[in-house]
Amino acid sequence: MRRGAQALRLTESCDPRVMRVRGDFFRYDRGFPATVTQVFHAMSDSAHFDDFDRVWSQRDLSRAIGWKRLKSWDSSARTLRAIFEARPEFCHSGGTIAQGGFITAWLDASMAQATMRDTQFQNNIATLELKVSFLKAVPPGEVLAEGRVLRRGKRVVFLEASLFNLDGTELLATATSTGLIVPLVLEKE
């Protein structure tokens, strides 16, 4: 965890024996018996939606794929909107078009975040299947990803996502996904 970042903790569904080793890599620690408590509260930092978004934004993986911040979460529509940055190093064709793997990661991350919030931070997903349609070239700059939970059962969740230009007027890519519901595991302090 980066300096100054608070660790998030979970109760029930997270296995407390999983510990952080380096960056976003985890290992199973058989000797860790501690229980942990869930902590989420309002933030004073207006650049982030909430504490979870602030911590998520500082993860190595999140920064590596260009996660900027959570824009909104609509619990009744089960829809999350997040801002990603298509940095020049993510682009090909002379730096003019974002590479499809990054676009896929943005759509996948927005669907995973929607699942986490829909389960009140108790669960994440292991993607079982993911289909992406690239509709238009994505230029460098910020983009808006929208992830939606279509249906969630006890073990499986069905999701969809859309990628738009920043003002939401131009559809750039879409995705559908099926995920296995797994416990949300975060690093311990």
Q: For 71-122, how does the pLDDT look when each residue is reduced to its tens digit (9 = 90+)?
A: 999 999 999 999 999 999 999 999 999 999 999 999 999 999 999 999 998 9
Phi and psi at 39, nearest 5°, equal: -135, 115
Check residue 56 and give its pLDDT. 77
Note the CATH architecture for domain 18-183.
Roll (3.10)
Token duo for residue 53: 């978004």
pTM for the complete prediction? 0.73
Residue type, 85: E
170: left (phi over 0), alpha (psi -120 to 50) or beta: beta
Q: Which distant-in-sequence residues (6+ apart) come within 8 Å of 45 by Cβ?
A: 54
Domain locations along the chain: 18-183
Q: Which residue has the higher pLDDT, 35 or 126?
A: 126
Check residue 42 and give its pLDDT. 32
